[in-house]
Amino acid sequence: MFKIAVLISGNGSNLEALIDACKNNYINGSIDVVLSNNPNAFGIERAKNHSINYKVINHESFETRSEFDKALLKELKKSSPDLIVLAGFMRILTPLILNAYKNKIINIHPSLLPKYPGLDTHNSVLENGDLKHGVTIHYVNEVLDGGKIIAQGEISVGANETAQGLQKRIHAIEHVMLPMVVSKFADGTINTSKIIYEKFI
């Protein structure tokens, strides 16, 4: 069975989308563990509700990023995941984790990278008058949102869009794109030589 570890820091709506996809056999695999750096993340409740193993590793309990990553790596090794999915995980991983799981860590980001890495992407799109916006799923490396792009989903930006409205639309696309990409990893059909590109209304 293809084993997935999901790392979260917040609400966990993408985690829920992955849980549903596994339960519906759209993803030929299972979520083996959910790890969170935030003890108050609602995604923990989602894991509990589906009887998925979870662990909180509060980054504030560690003096350095390296110490936090050592604790995180220890938990990941217990699971031995085939794929690690960062789904709203708000920590930058060090080479300790990246080297241990080379080409096995992916992240979902709410912009059409390389545009707008980091935070506040919806406001950036509006402030710059962009006509399109979207999500990117990419491999994780040492550069913030800088890993090789695997897939992107695009939407058009309307004349009267708000940041809140864009966020809602982007979330809906994320819940489609992330399970699709993870399913390809699980089936062994992922093709990283060509970016998957989908357009949404």
Residues labelled as active-site residues:
109
CA distances from 20 to 27, 153, 182 (A): 9, 20, 12
Edge-to-edge order in the sheet of strand 83-86: 54-56, 29-36, 2-8, 83-86, 105-109, 132-139, 149-156, 196-199
CA distances from 91 to 4, 146, 200 (A): 19, 14, 29
Query: CA-CA distance, 172 to 106, in Å (whole number)?
Result: 19
Report DSSP state, residue 104.
Answer: -
Q: How far is CA 98 from its chain centroid? A: 15
> To which residue do tokens 């059909």 refer?
189
Side-chain half-sphere of 118: how many Cα atoms within 13 Å?
4
Query: CA-CA distance, 84 to 106, in Å (whole number)?
Result: 6
Residue 198: CB atoms within 10 Å: 15
